Amino acid sequence: MKNILVEFECQIGEHCHNSWYIFDKKKSDWGYCKEFWGITKKNILEEGVFWDDYMMNTIKICSDQEITEEEKQTLNKLGVA
C-alpha cells in the first residue's frame, strides 16, 4: 500500500486555502479531487481545475508525493493530513 500526500488548493467563494490528504494509491488529478470533495460531476474550469457539483467553488492539485509510513503517522498525529 502506498501513502500519497496530496496538497489541494480550494477556492471557496472569495476565500482560498490549501488542504492536505493522504491517499492509499496513485490517482489522476480528477480522481483525487473527486474523492476528496465528493464531486460527482466532472466540470472543468480549466486544465487541472475542477468545479464542485454546484459550480460555485473550485479545487485543484498543487502537489502529490509518496511518503513513508512514518511520515504518514507523524502528519496524522499533528493533524495536518
Amino acid sitting at position 36: F
Nearest residue to 9 via CA among 38, 17, 31, 69? 17
Whether the predicted model's global pTM rises above the 0.85 cut: yes
C-alpha grid cell for residue 33? 479531487
C-alpha grid cell for residue 77? 498525529
Q: What string of pLDDT tens digits covers the 81 residues of the chain? A: 799 999 999 999 999 999 999 999 999 999 999 999 999 999 999 999 999 999 999 999 999 999 999 999 999 999 988
Domain count along the chain: 1
Full domain range(s) for residue 46: 4-78
At 1 the pLDDT is 79
* Pair 59, 46: CB distance under 8 Å: no
